[in-house]
Amino acid sequence: MSKRKNPEKRLPIGQCISQVQAQLRQRLLQQGHPGKRCGVQAQHKHLVELLKRTVTQGESNSALIISPRGSGKSMLLHDALKEIKENTLQVHLNGLLQTNDRIALKEITRQLQLENVVGDRVFGSFAENLAFLLEALKTGDRASSCPVIFLLDEFDLFAHHKNQTLLYNLFDVAQSAQAPVAVIGLTCRLDIMELLEKRVKSRFSHRQIHLLNAFTFSDYQDVCKDLLSLAPGFPDAQFSEEWNSNLQVLLENKIVEDVLQKQFNSSKDMRSLHTLLHLALCRVNVSHPHLNAADFVEASRLRSLDSKANILHGLSVLEMCLVIAMKHLQDVYSGEPFNFQMVHNEFQKFVQRKAHSVYNFEKPVILKAFEHLQQMELIRPMEGLSVRTQKEYRLMKLLLDNSQISEALQKYPNCPTDVRQWATSALT
């Protein structure tokens, strides 16, 4: 009797959804997803060639990768490092973490695993210590020395270190051909060269790699498809096929296309796209196993929520009244700054007009509410003013516009009718 072929293994829908969430979330949250490189092929090739010359030929190099935040500097660097198959040592430094040269040197020692070599040695200078560390890595002549790649994120912050000693010595080692060293900096500042001292500039190679987000909307859609597609190795092949075919149809949907186009027009930042797709993916569950257009619309709505307008929803009625008083003062005086006393007087006019004891607060209570608005950064003091000025007369600026206040009032829970009418009434 011949054996029948076992039917293709199907997983319960709950397990499929768990696998989808695990795989796609990891892909969206990791820095360097191995997807399509859109518009940066030339920069990628340049960086790979630069690093390969250091690794294979022992040629020391230095370069800066410059572009706005979220444009793919880290992704470009991670991609390039993946293509370097040879054995290398990588030292990752970040200007936000290594706030001075002493901390940076300690981190370099830790990442190169040379704590036992340094021990309790006393060095005369930073340069001597760094030279000793690099000398300790040598296993013979220059050709057989282990190449070291220094990666400096937030590079511009290192320029604020005292005397720029770290940058000077790294570039000096790279220029002097003592050991195969590559120094790659990542920064958002176009004026970075103006921050460097003359002696540091003279040792830098002046190689600059600029990322300009030169991809098209079609490329943007391809990246979106690439990020949300399930890979061939998914445990349930039939579910994977259904997911990918549904995704293909979905991305051709006019509503989804409009959402992506709006996102593309507002920002080509890939992290913004990842956040949008992540919000849409969070809506997938057992009763809703596939993405649809409504998921993208809701994700876009959540992305465009105004955080300050949301803060207003949690204010007390008194605090909301003070915000409305400030709004009136801004309208009357064409955006000129105000002080607490002016806001208090405006609020008292409202209380007297309505003759409601419910809004009759003592002045210290009103001042406390005013200070709370400042703590939440809804108002801020004007710059350049003397701190000796009494707080009741300190000039302030409202950090909200009329549309934000109006939107917040519409959604404010149990907003008194008097307050709502006051906010919308024309000024006399």
* DSSP annotation string for 87-135: --EEEEEETTT--SHHHHHHHHHHHTT-HHHHTT---SSHHHHHHHHHH
- As a whole number of angstroms, the distance between CA 393 and CA 366 comes to 14
**Does residue 353 contact residue 367 with C-beta atoms inside 8 Å?**
no
The series of mean pLDDT values per 10 residues for the chain, 428 residues long, is 52 88 85 56 89 87 88 85 82 92 87 71 69 64 72 93 88 79 92 91 91 80 90 88 93 92 84 89 91 92 78 86 90 86 90 73 91 90 69 86 81 82 66
- As a whole number of angstroms, the distance between CA 355 and CA 274 comes to 53
Give which of 210, 178, 177 is closest to 193, Cα–Cα: 210
- As a whole number of angstroms, the distance between CA 332 and CA 427 comes to 8
Pairing of strands 379-381, 396-398: antiparallel
Which run of H or of E encompasses 245? helix 237-251
Chain segment 89-107, per-residue pLDDT in tens: 899 999 999 998 888 888 8
At 426 the pLDDT is: 41
At 370 the pLDDT is: 93
- Cα–Cα distances (Å) from 270 to 20, 74, 224, 284, 382, in that order, read 21, 11, 10, 22, 36
At 173 the pLDDT is: 82
At 44 the pLDDT is: 87
Q: Which domains are seen in the chain, by residue range?
A: 13-27+215-303 (no CATH), 39-210 (3.40.50.300), 309-424 (1.10.10.10)
Burial class (CB in 10 A: 0-12, 13-18, 19+), 39: middle
At 143 the pLDDT is: 56
* Category of 154 on φ-ψ map: left (φ > 0), alpha (ψ -120 to 50) or beta: left
At 270 the pLDDT is: 80
- As a whole number of angstroms, the distance between CA 154 and CA 97 comes to 10
Q: Is 164 helix (H, G, I), strand (E, B) or coil?
A: helix
**Would you state the torsion angle of the CA atoms of residues 303, 309, 311, 316, taken in this order, to the nearest 10 degrees?**
-150
**In 10 A of CB 220, how many CB atoms?**
19
At 332 the pLDDT is: 85
- Cα–Cα distances (Å) from 355 to 56, 108, 238, in that order, read 84, 70, 70
**Does residue 61 contact residue 182 with C-beta atoms inside 8 Å?**
yes
At 208 the pLDDT is: 93
At 2 the pLDDT is: 45
